[in-house]
Structure 1
């Protein structure tokens, strides 16, 4: 029973990390290219997902790329009109 639970936990961790690698933007991935992280997560069952979680994920302090706002939503633009 323990063996089955370990296998299920490894599969769930791998699926979670594959989805997270796929959803992460290319510029935010640390240490290696995103395709190499995906390969490592899939091919190295326990080491790959754990290394992604500790070394590859974008850190919480990493700013996301600035998304262009419409002129009526941009506070700086509206301030300049006065």
Structure 2
């Protein structure tokens, strides 16, 4: 029984070290869910459970397209490939009309200070 605990503890320590190193060396684009620093903290503070979470949820799979978490749809290439050119043109016209309306609603003030007399 003591041998089992020693071997199990050794394997847990090796898995924990491997998980921390793997998480730390992956580029930020390969981290899913939360930022790289948060994943490192999770793996380091929760030795076995953190490593399991990292490999099950946090690490992007090989062949999976790396994706920034904060890319707006108008700048996301995968989203732009899914919509047609006509839909893109229509969206651009809608945005230009919105901007023109905002400019009409808020005319520029004369003078640079913006203070009233």
The question of a shared fold, defined as TM-score above 0.5 by the shorter chain, is answered with: yes
Q: 1:22 Cα deviation (Å)? A: 1.1
Residues 3-82 of structure 1: matches in 2 within 5 Å?
Answer: 3-63=5-65
Matches of 2:63 and 2:36 in 1, distance apart? 19
TM-score norm. by structure 1 comes to 0.72
Could you say which structure has the higher helix fraction?
A: 2
Number of aligned positions between the proteins: 65
Unaligned runs of 5+ in 2: 67-117
Q: Deviations for 1:5-64, whole angstroms, at most 9, x for unmatched residues?
A: 111111100111111111100122111111111111111121100000110111112246
Unaligned runs of 5+ in 1: 65-82
TM-score norm. by structure 2 comes to 0.52
Larger Rg: 2
Of structures 1 and 2, the one scoring higher in RCO (CA 8 A, sep 6+) is: 1
